[in-house]
Amino acid sequence: MDLFYGSTVEEQLKALKKDIKAFALAHYNYDYGHKRIYVAFGEQANIGNNILIVSTPLAKDAKAFEDKNYQYLKHILSTYNISKFFLTPNFLIPKDHVSTADIKLCSKWTETLVDIVQPKFIVILGEDSVFSFFRRKFILRDHHGTKVGISPQGLEIYLTYSPDYYNEKSEYEDPSFKNFIRDNDWTTISNRYKELVK
C-alpha cells in the first residue's frame, strides 16, 4: 500500500504526491507525467502501531518495493517476526545517483510520514539514511544495532545496515561475520518491537 498526508488517508496521499511532483520538477527538472509515485509500503491497519523503516532509495527503473534489496528486507522482517511496519525510501524521486544533500532535501517528507503512520520507533538502514533525521553522520561499524537518537516526535531511532550490505559478495569478506551482524542488530530491533508494538 502507498501512503498519505491530510485529514483523510486519500487527501494526505494526494497532497504528498502533489508536493513531491512539484518539488521534482522545480529542483530536479523531473516530470512524473502519469507515472505513479511510491511513498511507502505497509498496511493501513497498522497506523499508530508499527515501526517505520527508512531504507535506501528505490532503484530508478525498479518496480517499487520489489527489487532484491526490498525482498531481502522483507525476509529479515519475517525472520524476526516483525509484521507491523511501514517502509519508505530515504529519497522519493527517481535519480541515478542520490547524494546526502538529496536525502536532506527529502527529509521533510520522511518526517511527515512519521506524523502520518505514528510509529512506535524508527529504524534507519545505512549511513546515508541517517540524514533523513540528523545532520551529522553516524559510522555504521561503530553504531549499528544501537539507538542513535530521538526523532523530533520523541521516537527512538535505531541504525543498522541496508540489505545491499548482505547482498554484496566479496571473496575478502566472511559471510558468517555478516550473519552475526544481522542477527545482533535485528535481535535488538525485534526485542524493542516486541516491547512497543502490540
Each residue's pLDDT tens digit, 134-163 = 988 899 999 999 999 999 999 999 999 999
26 occurs within a structural domain: no
186 occurs within a structural domain: yes
pTM over cut 0.85 = yes
Tell me if 88 sits within 8 A of 52, measured CB to CB.
yes
Domain boundaries, position 181: 42-196
Least Cα distance to 17 among 45, 37, 46, 40 occurs for: 37
Instruction: Round to the nearest angstrom and report the end-to-end CA distance of the chain.
Output: 21
pLDDT value of residue 3: 46
Number of domains observed in the structure of the chain: 1
Task: Check pLDDT > 60 for residue 2.
Answer: no
Tell me if 50 sits within 8 A of 85, measured CB to CB.
yes
Residue 15 CB-density burial (10 A; 0-12 exposed, 13-18 middle, 19+ buried): middle
Contacts of residue 46, Cβ cutoff 8 Å, sequence gap at least 6? 84, 85, 86, 117
Check which CATH number belongs to the domain holding 183 and give it.
3.40.470.10
Least Cα distance to 87 among 60, 130, 57 occurs for: 57
Whole-angstrom Cα distance, residue 178 to residue 190?
18
Any idea what DSSP says for residue 49? S
For range 104-117, the mean pLDDT = 89
30 occurs within a structural domain: no
For range 164-181, the mean pLDDT = 81
4 occurs within a structural domain: no
134 occurs within a structural domain: yes
Instruction: Summarize pLDDT for 55-66 with one digit per residue, the tens.
Output: 988 777 777 778
Task: Check pLDDT > 70 for residue 67.
Answer: yes
At 35, phi and psi to the nearest 5? -70, 145
For the chain, how big is the Rg over CA atoms in Å? 16
107 occurs within a structural domain: yes
166 occurs within a structural domain: yes
